[in-house]
């Protein structure tokens, strides 16, 4: 079992990677999992190694890779959190523990309420550090790739929770490629008959569309050359599960000839100006289809940050075709989402380097990105009923996430006030609160907090809770603590 391939992948994008630490983590994990085997009969260490490889393909930092290698150590071996701290430091130990917590949350609740509650816990555990999510997604990805060996019931359970939780999560993080792959892996386990039907039904249509796109691609290349625009023209075939979802829409009604983006053309160029130039070139040759027309996600990005111009046109022989136009950087972001942002923002700031990440100078930025994601997520959940139906996250619409000055996330019900927040942090902080700031500005103690607020409590030693707080607080915890205080008196 060698890690040569992993190391060469890492060195190709991060020459300053901490290879000693990565090697140490691999040896540690191999030792810890010694004697354990996967159901396939392979040594267990092949799993964390594959997870680390997936993370390296996303060009993630050394810490993420190390955590990928160690992610099952606390859960599946006698190694403790304390030993992890001793060997790898608190940051890595905390990340591994975060993943263990996420894995232990059972999403099959006996009621919707418990389900949503558990889901919240999971998101909360993940929101402490984005890397917990990325490692968890890579873990799920590899488990699905190797799921055929599992007992049927377990396989279905894993696949179902992938469709319910992990794929939507990847989508929210803008990781389109990960989302599509997770769904396609889960699809045959959850809907075997439908999967079989769709593969057979769609095959000739895919073939025909691909042949057609080959011709159209040559034509567009010629046009680009005439206008002196350098770019790359490719095509992408729709992921099967996403095709299945589209076929189930009432306006499509299982008629694949109404799916115009079965195979879409993709034009990648160097800058935004060229994107619009390409749009002009396309429209001067092929007329846009009325009513579907152009969607400009560069001017107005999707909530998950997706940017691209989509236009649906009558191309050769009036065949309806979708063309997607974007820059190379937008393309990278559309495929890899937050993971790509990570790499790019780092490269831009001071060249990719681990010292940058490990010294903590990078941490606030990375945390802020995740905060933004959470906040826009919340917004979308409130705004879009379609999103709510497609996910089981509706319980979250009635919750807000606020942050302590240290960056810790607190999950509170809608309408929560600084007093609710203070009691959520610590009873004493609640009891001694005399004032509060939200995002640096003084607010009243009955102020209704919003998702994404950074809340600071001003306290005074020896202060006592006020009875009128009971008029506006919304959490049971705050109510209980305040009442307890007055009973004791
Ligand atoms: Mn695992």
Measured in angstroms, how far is the CA atom of residue 365 from the centroid of ligand 1?
Answer: 28
**Phi first, then psi: what are they for 150, rounded to 5°?**
-75, 155
Measured in angstroms, how far is the CA atom of residue 96 from the centroid of ligand 1?
Answer: 11
Q: Is pLDDT above 90 for 174?
A: no
- What CA dihedral angle connects 343, 134, 48 and 152, to 10 degrees? -140
For position 117, what pLDDT does the model report? 53
For position 444, what pLDDT does the model report? 96
Q: Give the DSSP H/E element, type plus range, for residue 152.
A: helix 152-161
Considering only residues 350 and 235, tell me which one the structure prediction assigns the higher pLDDT: 235
pLDDT band of residue 338 (cuts 50, 70, 90) is: low
Please spell the DSSP secondary structure of 32-78, one letter per residue.
HTTT-B-TTSSBTTHHHHHHHHHHHHTT--HHHHHHHHHTTHHHHSS
Measured in angstroms, how far is the CA atom of residue 458 from the centroid of ligand 1?
Answer: 42
> Which residues sit opposite 443 in a β-bridge?
436
3-state secondary structure 267-296: EEECCHHHHHHHHHHHHHHCCECCCCCEEE
**Phi first, then psi: what are they for 485, rounded to 5°?**
-60, -45
Residue range 256-274: average pLDDT?
93
Measured in angstroms, how far is the CA atom of residue 71 from the centroid of ligand 1?
Answer: 6
What architecture is domain 4-184? Orthogonal Bundle (1.10)
Measured in angstroms, how far is the CA atom of residue 72 from the centroid of ligand 1?
Answer: 5
Q: Is pLDDT above 50 for 265?
A: yes
Burial 382-413 (b: 16+ CB within 10 A, else e): eeeeebbeebbbeebeebbbbbbeeeebbbbe
List strands edge to edge, sheet with 433-438.
441-443, 433-438, 455-459
CB 417 within 8 A of CB 449: yes
CA 137/CA 140 separation, integer angstroms: 5
Other residues' Cβ atoms within 10 Å of the Cβ of residue 287 = 12
CA 194/CA 305 separation, integer angstroms: 32
Residue range 230-251: average pLDDT?
93
Which range has highest mean pLDDT (296-300, 330-334, 457-461)? Answer: 457-461
Residue range 415-439: average pLDDT?
94
CB 65 within 8 A of CB 21: no
Q: Is pLDDT above 80 for 230?
A: yes
Point out the catalytic residue in the list 4, 72, 76, 113: 76
Q: Is 3.10.20.30 the CATH classification of the domain at 398-488?
A: yes
Residue range 95-108: average pLDDT?
75
Measured in angstroms, how far is the CA atom of residue 194 from the centroid of ligand 1?
Answer: 29
Measured in angstroms, how far is the CA atom of residue 227 from the centroid of ligand 1?
Answer: 51
Measured in angstroms, how far is the CA atom of residue 105 from the centroid of ligand 1?
Answer: 14
Task: Output the CA angle 236-242-248, nearest 5 degrees.
Answer: 135
User: Residue 451, SS3?
Assistant: coil
Residue range 90-104: average pLDDT?
85
Measured in angstroms, how far is the CA atom of residue 101 from the centroid of ligand 1?
Answer: 12
For position 266, what pLDDT does the model report? 96
For position 395, what pLDDT does the model report? 37
List the structure tokens of 454. 């950074």
| Integer angstrom CA distances of residue 172 from 51, 56, 88, 283, 375 | 21, 21, 31, 32, 11
Please spell the DSSP secondary structure of 367-378, one letter per residue.
HHHHHHHHHHHH
Closest CA to 256 of 240, 237, 243, 269: 243
**Phi first, then psi: what are they for 438, rounded to 5°?**
-120, 125
307: left (phi over 0), alpha (psi -120 to 50) or beta: beta
List strands edge to edge, sheet with 309-314.
231-237, 263-269, 320-327, 309-314, 294-296
pLDDT tens sequence across 361-410:
233 334 444 444 544 444 443 333 333 333 333 334 456 777 777 656 67
CA 298/CA 275 separation, integer angstroms: 9
Measured in angstroms, how far is the CA atom of residue 31 from the centroid of ligand 1?
Answer: 16
DSSP state of 258: G
pLDDT tens sequence across 115-147:
555 555 566 666 667 788 889 999 999 999 999
Measured in angstroms, how far is the CA atom of residue 103 from the centroid of ligand 1?
Answer: 9
| Placement of tokens 């800058």 in the chain | 271
Point out the catalytic residue in the list 31, 42, 72, 75: 75
Measured in angstroms, how far is the CA atom of residue 173 from the centroid of ligand 1?
Answer: 21
Measured in angstroms, how far is the CA atom of residue 439 from the centroid of ligand 1?
Answer: 38
CA 419/CA 125 separation, integer angstroms: 23
For position 381, what pLDDT does the model report? 39
Q: Give the DSSP H/E element, type plus range, for residue 303.
A: none
pLDDT tens sequence across 61-91:
888 899 999 999 999 999 999 999 999 999 8
> Which residues sit opposite 326 in a β-bridge?
268
Q: Reply yes or no on whether 112 is catalytic.
A: no
DSSP state of 162: I
List the structure tokens of 225. 């050359």
> Which residues sit opposite 409 in a β-bridge?
403
Q: Where are the domains of the chain?
A: 4-184, 192-339, 398-488
pLDDT band of residue 306 (cuts 50, 70, 90) is: confident
User: Residue 309, SS3?
Assistant: strand
pLDDT tens sequence across 270-293:
999 999 999 999 999 999 988 777
Measured in angstroms, how far is the CA atom of residue 235 from the centroid of ligand 1?
Answer: 34
Q: Reply yes or no on whether 76 is catalytic.
A: yes
Measured in angstroms, how far is the CA atom of residue 141 from the centroid of ligand 1?
Answer: 10
**Phi first, then psi: what are they for 309, rounded to 5°?**
-105, 130
DSSP state of 473: -
Measured in angstroms, how far is the CA atom of residue 321 from the centroid of ligand 1?
Answer: 41
* CATH H-level, domain 192-339: superfamily: Beta Polymerase, domain 2 (3.30.460.10)
Other residues' Cβ atoms within 10 Å of the Cβ of residue 174 = 25
pLDDT band of residue 105 (cuts 50, 70, 90) is: low
């Amino acid at each position: 079992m060698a890690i040569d391939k992993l190391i060469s992948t890492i060195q190709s994008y991060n020459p300053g990677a901490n290879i000693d630490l990565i090697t140490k983590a691999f040896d540690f994990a191999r030792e810890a999992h010694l004697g354990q085997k996967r159901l396939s009969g392979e040594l267990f260490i092949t799993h964390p190694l594959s997870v680390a490889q997936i993370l390296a393909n996303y060009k993630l930092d050394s810490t993420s890779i190390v955590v990928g290698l160690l992610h099952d150590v606390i859960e599946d071996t006698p190694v403790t959190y304390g030993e992890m701290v001793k060997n790898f430091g608190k940051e890595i130990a905390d990340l591994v523990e975060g993943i263990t917590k996420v894995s232990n949350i059972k999403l099959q609740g006996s009621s919707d309420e418990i389900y949503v509650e558990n889901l919240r816990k999971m998101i909360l555990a993940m929101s402490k550090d984005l890397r917990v999510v990325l490692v968890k997604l890579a873990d799920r990805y590899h488990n699905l790739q190797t799921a055929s060996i599992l007992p049927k019931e377990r396989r279905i359970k894993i696949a179902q929770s992938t469709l319910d939780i992990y794929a939507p999560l990847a989508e929210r993080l803008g990781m389109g490629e990960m989302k599509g792959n997770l769904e396609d892996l889960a699809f045959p386990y959850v809907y075997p008959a439908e999967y079989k039907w769709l593969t057979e039904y769609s095959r000739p249509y895919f073939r025909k569309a691909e042949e057609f796109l080959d011709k159209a691609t040559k034509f567009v290349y010629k046009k680009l050359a005439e206008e002196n625009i350098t770019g790359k023209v490719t095509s992408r075939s729709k992921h099967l599960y996403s095709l299945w979802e589209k076929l189930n829409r009432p306006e499509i009604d299982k008629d694949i000839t109404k799916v115009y983006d079965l195979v879409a053309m993709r034009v990648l160029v160097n800058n935004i100006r060229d994107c619009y130039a390409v749009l002009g070139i396309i429209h001067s040759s092929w007329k846009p289809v009325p009513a579907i027309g152009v969607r400009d996600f560069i001017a107005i990005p999707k909530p998950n940050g997706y940017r691209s111009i989509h236009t649906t046109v009558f191309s050769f022989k009036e065949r309806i075709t979708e063309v997607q136009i974007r820059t190379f950087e937008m393309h990278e972001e559309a495929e890899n989402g937050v993971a790509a942002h990570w790499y790019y923002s780092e490269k831009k700031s001071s060249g990719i380097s681990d010292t940058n990440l490990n010294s903590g100078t990078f941490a606030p930025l990375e945390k802020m990105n995740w905060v933004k994601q959470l906040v826009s997520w919340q917004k979308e959940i409130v705004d879009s009923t379609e999103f709510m139906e497609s996910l089981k996250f509706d319980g979250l619409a009635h919750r807000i996430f606020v942050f302590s000055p240290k960056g810790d996330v607190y999950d509170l019900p809608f309408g929560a006030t600084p007093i609710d927040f203070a009691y959520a942090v610590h009873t004493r902080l609640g009891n001694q609160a005399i004032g509060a700031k939200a995002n640096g500005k003084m607010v009243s103690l009955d102020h209704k907090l919003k998702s994404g607020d950074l809340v600071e409590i001003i306290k005074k030693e020896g202060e006592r809770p006020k009875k009128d707080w009971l008029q506006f607080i919304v959490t049971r915890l705050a109510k209980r603590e305040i009442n307890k205080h007055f009973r004791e008196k």
